[in-house]
Amino acid sequence: MLDTLLTNGTLYDGTGADPVHGDIAIKDGRIVDIGRLAGAEAKRTIDLKGLAVSPGFIDLHTHSDFTLAADGRAQSQVHQGVTTEVIGQCGFSCAPINSAADVAIMAPGFTEGMVDVDWRSFGEYLDHLDKMSLGVNVAAFVGHGTIHRAVLGDALRPADDNELDTMKGLLDESIDGGAYGFSSGLEYWPGSLASPDQMAELVGVAGKRGVLYATHVRNRDLFYDIGFGEAISTARAGGARLQISHIQPKHGAPPYAMQHAINMINEAKSHGVDIAYDVIPHDWSHTRVSAILPQWAQEGGVAAVTARLKDPATRARIKANRKPMWRLVSDGLWHKIVLMQSTVNPDLVGLTFEDIGARRKTDPYDAALDLLVEEGNQMSHLMWTSQSFSEADIRLAISQPDCAIISDTLALAPEGCLKHHIGSLSGYGWAARFLQHYVRDHGVLTLAEGLRRLTVLPAARLGIRDRGILKKGAWADITVFDADQIASHCDVAEPRRFATGIAHVLVNGVFSMLDGARTTDDGGCVLRSH
Ligand SMILES: [Zn+2]
């Protein structure tokens, strides 16, 4: 007797091949047969006439390290068909750490008192996640920034050779503990302190262990070609497979930057360097407000940063920063920058900094720095967003066969302990928006190829062969949706609306969505590389 029989579906196997009509048989969490299975006996049979059936979506780049430890249901993701999340990106992971307090600095979405931080090593962190009821499977990368901080604390300097060796040891140990890859965030502190030759040594550990190296490159505007060039050369020198994260250039890059980056990548690939990349399917960019502070002003933790921001002379030096992370800031384009997340000033969320400045009768730059001070201990989680990606760049990236689609966000829920959190504007709708906007409305890709970017392609980058594909023997991670209806409903004013058009979602054979509604069952588990 089968557990579940899905009948009459339009089956997209995830490889990009044309769909076929047929049935899927599921038992003990796995797909045991695919084809014409009329008459097979199952505890539950569901007719999928008119619906598209895909492998469950794999989100190759998220920052749910802390939020999944707080609420494992991953409601925002499950409602749009995600069955696996890859956390620990851009250099930030929840382990390895020296003390529970370290998580506050290194974990996006951190909130005091929400999680009992009972881990130190990477393996212990995964054990903690394992005890959660998880709505999605989780593959976790270990972050370079977190490893750097575990060795050097808040010191504002690069590692010396001995410290670099300690960092390499921690990376190796984290992979032993189950890390699926290594990530860096070279545009952020403390990633920005590392030199390319140090990164190549660390990347070499990932290469030796056969895990993927994912990087948020050092620069994606004025010096985008140095940023992408560094990623390519460190991966080549370190002998690792490379994933360039959220590749779209930012405001300030020349209009040919995306094509130039693709050319650089293709040239290196033609000589054997294994490179792929991904994009956020949205022209809104988001980041931490604190990322605009010059490096020297970020040293020493919240108390030290607050003291600098309160001292008028030091604040003036901070504002004179000639190269803030966002060139929108140095260009004074405050009407394009919107406050996205604040715990202390939730009434200002959704307003532009031009408006916030006017409301507070102060310069928008000062308003941003004031909000940082007011946010206190949660300073690093004050987030802003701007419509600063080019739609043409995104389409050009998507039209390349190596480009996966990612959220770059946090798994959240509009109720429960995470209800006030927001990770990005597309957090509740990224996969739905990709299938709606780029596939259905604009035809940048066929549906079969679009689904490959959410399934077989990310699985292959991770080295996972039994997920992200509809085939006999694979885990039954399956998303069933209405290809004509799937849609995102998020915008700046209401970023917490669930996507619609998803009918059923199975994770390891367990229904997390049934007939368009979330069940109370969570079928996810932690995936370990070793
Ligand atoms: Zn990033």
Mind giving me the DSSP string for 453-516?
TTTHHHHHHHT--SSSS--TTSB--EEEE-TTT-B----SS-TTPPPB-EEEEEETTEEEEETT
Average pLDDT (211-239) is: 97
Q: Cα dihedral sign for 495, 496, 501, 506? A: positive
Residue 24 has pLDDT above 80, yes or no: yes
CA of 247 relative to ligand 1 center, distance in Å: 9
Average pLDDT (475-494) is: 93
Kindly state the helix (H) or strand (E) to which residue 118 belongs, with its residue range: none
So what's the pLDDT on residue 303?
Answer: 93
Residue 343 has pLDDT above 90, yes or no: no
Average pLDDT (50-61) is: 98
pLDDT band, residue 52 (cuts 50/70/90): very high
- HSE (CB half, 13 Å, CA atoms) of 452? 17
So what's the pLDDT on residue 381?
Answer: 81
The residues, ordered by sequence, that sit 6+ positions from 109 with a Cβ below 8 Å of its Cβ are 63, 64, 66, 67, 70, 381, 410, 412, 418, 421, 423
Residue 325 has pLDDT above 80, yes or no: no
Rounded to whole angstroms, the Cα distance separating 221 from 187 reads 11
Give pLDDT tens digits for 263-275. Answer: 999 999 999 999 9
**Which residues place a Cβ less than 5 A from the ion ligand 1?**
90, 216
The residues, ordered by sequence, that sit 6+ positions from 17 with a Cβ below 8 Å of its Cβ are 448
Q: Are 436 and 488 a contacting pair, CB within 8 Å?
A: yes
So what's the pLDDT on residue 425?
Answer: 82
Q: Are 137 and 524 a contacting pair, CB within 8 Å?
A: yes
Query: Which segment of 89-93, 185-189, 282-286, 468-472 scores lowest on mean pLDDT?
Result: 282-286
Average pLDDT (74-81) is: 97
Q: Are 206 and 463 a contacting pair, CB within 8 Å?
A: no
So what's the pLDDT on residue 199?
Answer: 98
CA of 17 relative to ligand 1 center, distance in Å: 31
So what's the pLDDT on residue 518?
Answer: 98
Rounded to whole angstroms, the Cα distance separating 290 from 424 reads 16
The SS3 of residue 156 is coil
Average pLDDT (197-207) is: 98
pLDDT band, residue 117 (cuts 50/70/90): very high
The residues, ordered by sequence, that sit 6+ positions from 65 with a Cβ below 8 Å of its Cβ are 87, 88, 92, 93, 94, 107, 108, 140
Give pLDDT tens digits for 274-323. Answer: 999 999 999 888 888 998 898 889 888 899 999 999 999 999 999 998 77
Residue 378 has pLDDT above 90, yes or no: no
CA of 142 relative to ligand 1 center, distance in Å: 14
So what's the pLDDT on residue 173?
Answer: 98
Average pLDDT (191-196) is: 94
Average pLDDT (349-368) is: 94
Rounded to whole angstroms, the Cα distance separating 243 from 229 reads 13
CA of 89 relative to ligand 1 center, distance in Å: 7
So what's the pLDDT on residue 530?
Answer: 73
Average pLDDT (21-28) is: 98
Q: Are 93 and 181 a contacting pair, CB within 8 Å?
A: no
CA of 317 relative to ligand 1 center, distance in Å: 27
Query: Which segment of 133-147, 174-188, 330-344 scores lowest on mean pLDDT?
Result: 330-344
Quick one: tokens of 286? 């988001």
Rounded to whole angstroms, the Cα distance separating 396 from 352 reads 29
The residues, ordered by sequence, that sit 6+ positions from 474 with a Cβ below 8 Å of its Cβ are 30, 31, 55, 466, 467
CA of 27 relative to ligand 1 center, distance in Å: 38
Residue 420 has pLDDT above 90, yes or no: no
So what's the pLDDT on residue 112?
Answer: 84
CA of 216 relative to ligand 1 center, distance in Å: 5
So what's the pLDDT on residue 323?
Answer: 76
CA of 408 relative to ligand 1 center, distance in Å: 7
Average pLDDT (84-106) is: 95
Phi and psi of 214, rounded to 5°?
A: -110, 135
CA of 449 relative to ligand 1 center, distance in Å: 25
Q: Are 463 and 212 a contacting pair, CB within 8 Å?
A: yes
Query: Which segment of 28-37, 238-247, 424-433, 444-453 scores lowest on mean pLDDT?
Result: 424-433
Residue from 24, 18, 55, 48 nearest 38 by CA = 24
Residue 156 has pLDDT above 90, yes or no: no
Rounded to whole angstroms, the Cα distance separating 428 from 323 reads 32
Average pLDDT (425-448) is: 96
- Largest alpha-carbon pair distance within the chain? 79
What's the helix, strand, coil split of the chain in %, to 5?
Answer: 35, 20, 45
CA of 524 relative to ligand 1 center, distance in Å: 25
So what's the pLDDT on residue 298?
Answer: 87
The SS3 of residue 313 is helix
Angle at which helices 364-375 and 312-319 cross, to 10° = 120
Convert 322-364 into a string of H (helix), E (strand) and C (coil): CCCCCHHHHCCCHHHEEEEECCCCHHHCCCEHHHHHHHCCCCH
Average pLDDT (517-530) is: 95
